[in-house]
Amino acid sequence: MNRIACVVLAAGALAACTRSPSEAPPRLSLAPCIVRDVAGECGTLPVFENRHTRRGRKIDIHLMVLRADGPAAASSAVFMFSGGPGTGSTQMAPAGTGWGRALRASMDIVLVDQRGTGESHPLACPSPALTDPAAIFGHVYDAAQLTACRDALERDADLTQYTTDAAVADIDEVRAALGYERISVYGGSYGTRMAQGYARRFPERVRAMVLDGVAPFDTVMPLSYAVSAQQSLDRVIAACAATPECRAAHPRLAADFATVLARLDAKPATATVRTPTGTTAAVAMGRGDFAYAVRGILYDAGAVATLPGLIRRAAATGDLSEFAQRYWNRRVSLDATLALGQHLSVLCSEDVPFVDDQEIAPATSGTFLGRYLVDEYRRACGVWPRGSIGGDARALVSARVPALLVSGFFDPVTPPEFADRTARALPLSRTIVAPGSAHGSAQACPRAAVLHVLERGTLDGAPEVCRGR
């Protein structure tokens, strides 16, 4: 009988469950496929949904391999992890023909849809955004809709089994099935937790890692959102004030923003959203909706150029339709790519339960977001099942793995300070701040260093990039 080696760090909590050295890796066959206009090889690997008991339902883990240019490179690979949580990593396929194309001179690129995302038993929830735009305003999460989605998903899924640790163990089964002894790992946003989690559980399998937009394990994400977004906005306002052309066009930017907030504190605004079919819908935009829209805009480095004008026009006219449109566009995009059920299965197990009531006011007061997102996530997690996590799952990772940590100066969710704190726990690490970037910076000035570390597996000789902020 094959033996399974399992390490459990807390009662009922899976930390890692791996095959013993004597057990043969699972078989995995690949076939040609095209994802987002990128050609590669795709396949599925069945794994136990419950990795602790290793009994009952199996789910298929979907993956894509973008092969290296030469057969000699077949033993080397970089695994790329997408953000969210909730987006499938196969959606990153364009990176293999874009900013990461140079990696394929010497290594395969492997993209695995994390359990619950993409085509790996996705935990998707229906959304009314396309058919009824007004229905998505006034809240981020509707408890009744989430309850219905939970009940539907539970017919074919144990929602407590879709944690980061479980997904990390899936990844190692994929690695073994594909025959790679050691891999480089890249993660963006939440994908940085996947990369860190893999390095924590399987450090001997990691050559190097790049973390792009670092999400530390010891940060309670909903609680950190307000301060990080406020810092991002303050930096955009300061950048405008430091630029003569922007300063001349928007001499009262901070005051204009305060004017919009004051109006919304008094009453919601009526705004208009236009759909791709040409129809328009009236929506009621409250302060929470507006703040969430601003936060979404700040994810893009282009906000430095566009946000001041949006604020000025809203303050001058009282019309928030431009913000409502951005809000709606982003929601529709997320609905198309993000499996909300998996998003909540992670955050309702690994973050939201650790929000301390006494910490909410100090962490959110004086910010444009306030406690809005904290309350929204707590409401959502009130109806969503909570999975178990390992006793060390909220500790910073300290694996002796060469690690490059990349941040965008204007990032509203994973600011450079997160990378600095994470790096202090990693004995072999280096941080880079991209001065003109926001959330996700590997394609910007850090690119040469990112490619060097992933391909060569070392920080030694990595080029100096992104001087100044």
The answer to whether 165 and 197 are in contact (CB under 8 A) is yes
For the ranges 7-16, 116-125, 394-403, 450-459, the lowest mean pLDDT is seen at 7-16
321-346 pLDDT, tens digit per residue, is 999 999 999 999 999 999 999 999 99
pLDDT at 19: 52
pLDDT at 15: 41
CA distance 462 to 451: 9
379-388 pLDDT, tens digit per residue, is 999 999 999 9
Average pLDDT over residues 386-411: 97
83-97 pLDDT, tens digit per residue, is 999 999 999 999 999
In this prediction, what percent of the chain has a pLDDT beyond 70? 93
297-323 pLDDT, tens digit per residue, is 999 999 999 999 999 999 999 999 999
Tell me the CA distances in angstroms from 82 to 35, 229, 290, one per residue in order: 15, 21, 27
In the chain, what are the domains? 25-124+158-219+392-456 (3.40.50.1820), 221-381 (no CATH)
pTM for the complete prediction?
Answer: 0.93
- Burial-class residue 152 by CB neighbours within 10 Å (0-12, 13-18, 19+): middle
pLDDT at 277: 87
The answer to whether 349 and 213 are in contact (CB under 8 A) is no
Buried b / exposed e across 272-303, counting CB within 10 Å, b at 16+?
ebeeeeeeebebebbbbbbbbbbbbbbbbbeb
225-284 pLDDT, tens digit per residue, is 999 999 999 999 999 999 999 999 999 999 999 999 999 999 999 999 999 888 999 999
218-235 pLDDT, tens digit per residue, is 999 999 999 999 999 999
Whether residue 294 has pLDDT greater than 50: yes
Average pLDDT over residues 419-426: 98
137-169 pLDDT, tens digit per residue, is 999 999 999 999 999 999 999 999 999 999 999
Assigned token pair, 324: 């409502």
Average pLDDT of the residues of the chain: 93
CA quadruple 173, 177, 178, 182: dihedral positive or negative?
Answer: positive
Query: Which single residue is written with the structure tokens 């704190």?
Result: 421
What contacts 24+ positions apart, CB below 8 Å, involve 138-141?
138/284, 138/286, 138/288, 138/289, 139/288, 139/376, 139/379, 140/288, 140/292, 140/373, 140/376, 140/377, 140/380, 141/376, 141/377, 141/379, 141/380
196-206 pLDDT, tens digit per residue, is 999 999 999 99
Whether residue 135 has pLDDT greater than 60: yes
pLDDT at 2: 33
Whether residue 25 has pLDDT greater than 90: no
Whether residue 99 has pLDDT greater than 70: yes
